[in-house]
């Protein structure tokens, strides 16, 4: 009760102080503007602006022309012509959210309703070491821009993908020629629009990369002004420090970012603070280290995550079953026990969608390790794994340089792809008062924009691109569940991307104003 009262006091004071203004100064600015421009595309009237900076909200109107914010202040509509006026009625207006770790294919789903419905206006693709297998990112960008996209897209280059394109694939010891070829592919991508390199060191073939290879690529990323986002080698409690330290070695050469930071099997606030202290120590030594996190305590990935490396490609799985079957059964049994038992693995792909590993084993009348070996295999399913601790994860999210992500997609059978950003507001702001609304908005807008070096989004300021949301925080409803994950969020009344309304209440408009963004270093 105290936390809820505190939350509403903060919101009230924020609103009260934000109402103080300088009418004369605003009027002068407006008069100067109207001498130059008479026609505007969109006016948001009577806004309560949470601008993304983390500062208190304030009252103002917002004028938009083309794709940009032209004026913030009191607008006299008798002096201008506006194509469309939205009376916001003092609901919250914030920047559109930026999802630093997302999945999806714009050629299969260019609207991305799951992201739009929860307020995401920019998504970062090419994650976990996998990006479209184009030798030149310019071609991919051109094709996406030609067909259109509703959200903006920031594209990364996948380490596993360029490993394959360069002919290295599963080779743990690439020669100099192969390394240089991979480096050339990376450099070409960075200079033509890639925001950086992603690694997926828990997946094949990325897992075969050794430190020398990763540092070789990090130097190229640094030389061309990019960053590395990493699904690290091992997120288990016993290995997390080693994984972070491996990434920090790459951080000597370029900014590094921990994707969906978590401590699998770890417990409590103290354990989280140990991880934060390790990262803070690196920051004090002039390394740029950031992280993102999704607000769910179950991960989601391929079932291969529980299989040993020697049972996955390029190894012959049938040969493994014949020659090392007993060893594999023991490994899988112990691994599942370590991961909180067969009840904690929930399948998200057919034919076992919505069933736990225990339920499948019971139906088939065989041990769960045999189900994994004989009925599924290392590439036969994806699942949610309930392996994280809530207190630990929230403590990691509170770190000043940890931002929100979804790690979700339109098709993934996990609620994070449909509810991460709305849950941040509905649960962590309104219900539990873990963050104030300005703090939460900052973690979803300006902080990721700064991290990605996107200079024209993430804040509500004159000159910024008009990616905007209109909503009442108390009406945000996260509908998605593990049992029914593809339910759209409710409550983001208006979603604007590059100055165009793409969502009006529950109506998705037939418009694709999104762009494939380029980092500010790329002209």
Question: Domain of 408: which CATH number?
Answer: 3.20.20.140
Same domain, 295 and 409: yes
Peptide bond preceding 351: is omega within 30 degrees of 0, i.e. cis?
yes
Question: Which stretches in the chain have pLDDT values below 70?
Answer: 1-26
Q: CB-hemisphere CA count at 13 Å for 515?
A: 15
Is 80 among the domain residues? no
Same domain, 215 and 283: yes
Q: State the pLDDT at residue 22.
A: 52
DSSP annotation of 509: P
Same domain, 333 and 378: yes
Q: Per residue in 306-331, pLDDT tens?
A: 999 999 999 999 999 999 999 999 99
Which runs of E-coded beta strand occur in 416-491?
468-471
Same domain, 375 and 391: no
Same domain, 118 and 199: yes
**Sign of the CA dihedral running 262, 263, 267, 268:** negative
Q: State the pLDDT at residue 517.
A: 97
Is 181 among the domain residues? yes
Same domain, 218 and 233: yes
Q: State the pLDDT at residue 2.
A: 47
Is 154 among the domain residues? yes
Same domain, 271 and 211: yes
Is 359 among the domain residues? yes
Is 462 among the domain residues? no
Our measurement of the distance from residue 425's CA atom to the centroid of its chain's CA atoms, rounded to an integer in Å, reads 16
| List of residues 6+ apart from 147 with CB closer than 8 A | 106, 107, 110
Same domain, 166 and 193: yes
* Burial of 316 per CB tally in 10 Å (0-12, 13-18, 19+): exposed
Residue 164 near residue 129, CB atoms below 8 Å: no
Same domain, 112 and 230: yes
Q: State the pLDDT at residue 46.
A: 97
Nearest to 238 by CA among 336, 328, 338, 310: 338
Of 352, 383, 414, which residue constitutes the final position of a domain?
383
pTM score, two decimals? 0.90
Q: State the pLDDT at residue 24.
A: 58
Q: How far is CA 90 from CA 35, 47, 75, 234, in A?
A: 28, 5, 15, 46
Q: Per residue in 38-91, pLDDT tens?
A: 899 999 999 999 999 999 999 999 999 999 999 999 999 999 999 999 999 999
Is 54 among the domain residues? no
Is 158 among the domain residues? yes
Residue-number span of the structural domain to which 373 is assigned:
307-383
What's the number of domains the chain is made of?
2
Same domain, 379 and 393: no
Same domain, 289 and 206: yes
Cα dihedral angle (264, 267, 269, 270), rounded to 10 degrees? -100
Q: State the pLDDT at residue 20.
A: 44
Is 35 among the domain residues? no
DSSP annotation of 272: H
* Burial of 191 per CB tally in 10 Å (0-12, 13-18, 19+): middle
Of 327, 348, 383, which residue constitutes the final position of a domain?
383
Residue with tokens 């509703």, as numbered in its chain: 150
* Burial of 3 per CB tally in 10 Å (0-12, 13-18, 19+): exposed
Same domain, 183 and 210: yes
Of 341, 359, 383, which residue constitutes the final position of a domain?
383
């Amino acid at each position: 009760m105290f936390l809820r009262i505190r939350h509403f006091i903060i919101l009230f004071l924020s609103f009260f102080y934000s109402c103080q203004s300088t009418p004369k100064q605003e009027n002068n600015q407006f008069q100067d503007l109207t001498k130059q421009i008479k026609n505007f595309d969109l006016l948001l009237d009577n806004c309560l602006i949470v601008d993304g900076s983390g500062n208190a909200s304030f009252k103002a109107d917002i004028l938009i022309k083309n794709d940009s914010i032209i004026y913030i202040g009191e607008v006299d509509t008798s002096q201008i012509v506006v194509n469309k006026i939205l009376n916001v009625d003092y609901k919250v207006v914030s920047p559109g959210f930026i999802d630093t770790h997302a999945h999806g294919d714009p050629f299969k789903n260019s609207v991305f309703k799951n992201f739009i419905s929860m307020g995401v206006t920019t998504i970062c693709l090419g994650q976990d070491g996998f990006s479209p297998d184009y030798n030149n990112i310019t071609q991919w960008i051109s094709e996406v821009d030609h067909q259109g996209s509703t959200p903006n897209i920031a594209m990364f280059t996948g380490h596993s993908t360029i490993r394959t394109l360069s002919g290295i694939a599963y080779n743990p010891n690439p020669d100099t020629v192969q390394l240089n070829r991979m480096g050339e592919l990376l450099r070409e991508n960075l200079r033509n629009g890639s925001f950086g390199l992603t690694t997926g060191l828990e997946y094949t073939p990325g897992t075969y990369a050794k430190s020398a290879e990763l540092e070789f690529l990090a130097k190229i990323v640094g030389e061309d002004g990019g960053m590395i986002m990493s699904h690290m080698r091992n997120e288990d409690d016993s290995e997390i420090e080693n994984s972070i330290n491996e990434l920090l070695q790459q951080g000597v050469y370029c900014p590094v970012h921990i994707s969906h930071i978590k401590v699998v099997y770890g417990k409590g606030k103290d354990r989280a603070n140990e991880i934060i202290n390790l990262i803070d120590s690196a920051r004090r030594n002039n390394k740029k280290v950031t992280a993102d996190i999704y607000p769910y305590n179950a991960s989601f990935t391929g079932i291969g995550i529980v299989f040993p490396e020697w049972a996955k490609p390029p190894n012959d799985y049938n040969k493994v079953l014949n020659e090392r079957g007993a060893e594999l059964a023991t490994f899988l049994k112990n691994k599942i026990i370590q991961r909180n038992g067969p009840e904690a693995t929930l399948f998200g792909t057919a034919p076992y969608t919505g069933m736990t590993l225990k339920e499948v084993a019971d139906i088939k009348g065989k041990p769960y390790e045999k189900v994994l070996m004989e009925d599924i295999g290392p590439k036969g399913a994806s699942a949610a794994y309930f392996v994280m601790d809530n207190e630990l994860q929230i403590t990691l999210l509170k770190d000043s340089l940890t931002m929100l992500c979804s790690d979700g997609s339109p098709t993934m059978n996990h609620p994070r792809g449909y509810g991460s950003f709305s849950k941040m507001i509905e649960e962590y702001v309104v219900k539990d008062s873990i963050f104030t609304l300005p703090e939460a908005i900052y973690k979803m807008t300006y902080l990721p924009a700064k991290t990605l070096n996107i200079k024209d989004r993430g804040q509500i300021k004159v000159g910024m691109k008009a990616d905007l949301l209109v909503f009442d925080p108390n009406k945000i409803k996260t509908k998605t569940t593990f049992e029914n994950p593809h339910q759209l969020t409710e409550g983001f009344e208006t979603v604007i991307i590059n100055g165009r309304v793409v969502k009006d209440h529950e109506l998705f408009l037939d418009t694709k104003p999104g762009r494939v963004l380029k980092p500010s270093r790329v002209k």
